[in-house]
Amino acid sequence: MPGDLKEECGIAAVYLKKPLEEYSAGGASYFLYKMLLQLQHRGQLSAGITTYNNKRPQLINTYKKLGSVNEVFKIKRKDQALWVLNKYAGTAGIGHVRYATSGSEEEALAHPFERHHGRKWKWFAFAMNGNIANYAKLKKELQKKDYHLPRNSDTELVLHYLVKEFVGSKRIPLEKVFGNISKKFDGSYNIAYIDAEGTIAVLRDPYGFRPLSYAEDDEKILIASESSALLNLSLNGFKDVKPGEILIIKNGKLRIKRFSEQRKCSHCMFEWVYFANPSSILDGTSVYQARYNLGRELAKKEFLSNQDSELIVVGVPDTAKPMADAYAHHTGIPLMEGLLRNRYIGRTFIEGQSRAERVREKFLLNKPILKGKKVILIEDSMVRGTTSKELIKYIRESGEAKEVHLRSASPPIMSPCFYGIDMSTVTELIAAKNTAKKIRERTPIKEVTAETLEKIRKEIDADSVMYQSIEGLVNAINKEKKQDLCLACLNGVYPTPEGKKLRKKALASFVCGAEKRTYE
């Protein structure tokens, strides 16, 4: 699903059990770089780390910049890269890669956020992955108490609530600190925290919207948003952090505490469909296998005949590759590489590029494969439809394909997300805006009608459109854990109170033509 949806943020943490001198250059900064590199798919806007080193006056020190992980760590120049690693060398640290679901694209909003204080246990930094759904409400409450919040960011909100927990001279256990603020927050929030005593705390919100894994061996403790970031750094395997749990590491010891009662598990289905690395295993389910299964389930619905010799299957690289593999295998229609991804196109700040230009930069057509063929184009999902439209036009006009049939391995996105995915209005969702009346009338939402599919087909100029079913999605991920998935963007059933309120607000905004993000 190229360009239609933005990745989530990623967090990481490391605690070294031995003296700094026994590790590679940088110690904690080196391991954070390695983990963030494997989380790069979750955010390319900025990267940052905070490390602890009791041998320097700046006990915890934060380094963050706009750009990719390799750009921030200056990997193109060995001397500069070593300078970064050694300047921020430490025995413990946290890291973050960011895509902005709220706030603007500026360096001040890059994570981690650091708060200085004279007392070491009150001097801390933290990074977050998620979205506080009741941000607007909590911001107003703080402003009534004469707080000033200049940034349009829920991370700033979390910072203020943490500071409030440290008022006074009595130290509160970290599990209680985060337990107290969790009572205020509605939404998704995985947090990595470090203080100037070298204590690390990493937590997963009570609903478990976003994944979180950890690994421990004789030399270190590693924590990251995905297991793929741990696989090459620890020989002892990994475990999942359970919703409502906090990992506290102090004096070389890892303790797992419960900071909040676990709510109804609501793992975001998009983690398996799109966000996560295919080599990751999230809450016991392989991402690659889930994507392969999605292709198999999609094949069961196909109505085009595999006896048509002009039909070929083309997957949109890279996420849809296992889906296209399975789809072709189970339909018997040949799989061809009609689209090739240009892997050397980095993030661009050139203004004025049209979506058509971005599609042509990102993908190269294999014209001899496409010319004169009836292309079944496999996408992992279709959210806004604008990129799909340009891709279909590109294949039809430049590739000279005879027909282009779009197949989405995800069901239609019928409702906004308020838990960290950048799609918070009805207007921007191609399936939702074409089914708006029915959305208002019924919950949960069932599959789109033939009338809606025809509207979508015309809008993106495809010869036909077919979506995955919700049942097929659940079967592909893990049908035994249907109750543990958040499907709110598919069926309009939100797991949190604020989500339910924001859905009504989003629908009302759609009716009156408002386009700003619902939670702002």
Architecture of domain 10-130+187-263: 4-Layer Sandwich (3.60)
Is 9 catalytic? The answer is yes
Digit-coded pLDDT (tens) for 148-199:
988 888 999 999 999 999 998 899 999 999 999 999 999 999 999 999 999 9
Q: What is the mean pLDDT of residues 282-307?
A: 97
Concatenated DSSP letters of 225-285: SSGGGTTTT-SS--EEPPTTEEEEEETTEEEEEESS---S--EETHIIIIIS-TT-EETTE
- The pLDDT of residue 104 is 55
Query: Hey, which bits of 380-504 come out as E strands?
Result: 403-408, 464-467, 485-486
Is a pLDDT exceeding 90 seen at residue 118? yes
pLDDT in tens, 226-236: 999 999 898 78
Beta strands in 324-437 (DSSP E): 339-341, 363-365, 374-379, 403-408
**Considering 9, 265, 417, 486, which one is annotated as catalytic?**
9
**Is this prediction's pTM over 0.85?**
yes
Give the pair of three-digit tokens for residue 214: 């950890």
pLDDT value at residue 514 = 58
Digit-coded pLDDT (tens) for 2-55: 444 554 699 999 999 999 999 989 999 999 999 999 999 999 899 999 999 999
CA-CA distance, 168 to 489, in Å (whole number)?
Answer: 43
* Whether residue 291 has pLDDT greater than 60: yes
pLDDT at 1 over 50: no
Q: Given 1.10.10.10, 3.40.30.10, 3.40.50.300, 3.40.50.2020, which CATH number is that of 285-512?
A: 3.40.50.2020
> Quick one: pLDDT at residue 448?
83
What CA–CA distance (Å, rounded) separates 73 from 92? 18
Report domain extents, the chain.
10-130+187-263, 285-512
Over the chain, what is the mean pLDDT? 91
